[in-house]
Amino acid sequence: MDLDEAQRFAREWAAAWNSHDLDRVLRRYAPDVEFRSPLAAQLVDGSGGVIRGIDALRAYWAEGLRRNPALRFEVTDVYAGIDTVVITYGHQTGRRAAEILTFRDGLVVSGMGTYAA
């Protein structure tokens, strides 16, 4: 994935999240996606922070949106790798975070949410 593609994805990703439309957010995720996040460990009992499959990811993110109705992301930087994109961003609360997303055939197959203090 080149940097232009990565930046385009990041803009679409932020716009989808800011719309709170999970269908729009999940459009670019594979059915067998695996997502890891310390927030998932807090919100999904027994997950250990690992969410497997698009239905489980939808349920996790739906709960996150329910708990944070003012959720808003602002992309601060984008990095492109061979099949990976890193998006750094800020939350409406001022907290900084990064998503590390790996793609296969144009869809995210694995992701990690990471958070600053």
pLDDT over 90 at 19, yes or no:
yes
Over the stretch 62-94, which tens digit does the pLDDT of each residue have?
Answer: 999 999 999 999 999 999 999 999 999 999 999
Residues 43, 46: Cα–Cα separation, whole Å: 9
Residues 53, 33: Cα–Cα separation, whole Å: 5
Q: Maximum distance among all alpha carbons in the chain? A: 38
* Structural domain containing residue 80: 3-115
Strand order from edge to edge, sheet including 73-80: 50-52, 29-36, 107-115, 96-104, 84-91, 73-80
pTM (2 d.p.) = 0.94
Cα separations in angstroms, 73 against 28, 29, 107: 18, 18, 21
For residue 34, the domain's CATH number is 3.10.450.50
Q: What is the pLDDT of residue 117?
A: 84
- How many domains is the chain partitioned into structurally? 1
Nearest alpha-carbon partner for 34 in 102, 95, 80: 102
Over the stretch 25-51, which tens digit does the pLDDT of each residue have?
Answer: 999 999 999 999 999 999 999 999 999
Residues 98, 82: Cα–Cα separation, whole Å: 18
Residue 35 φ/ψ region, left for φ over 0, alpha for ψ in the -120 to 50 degree band, beta for the rest: beta
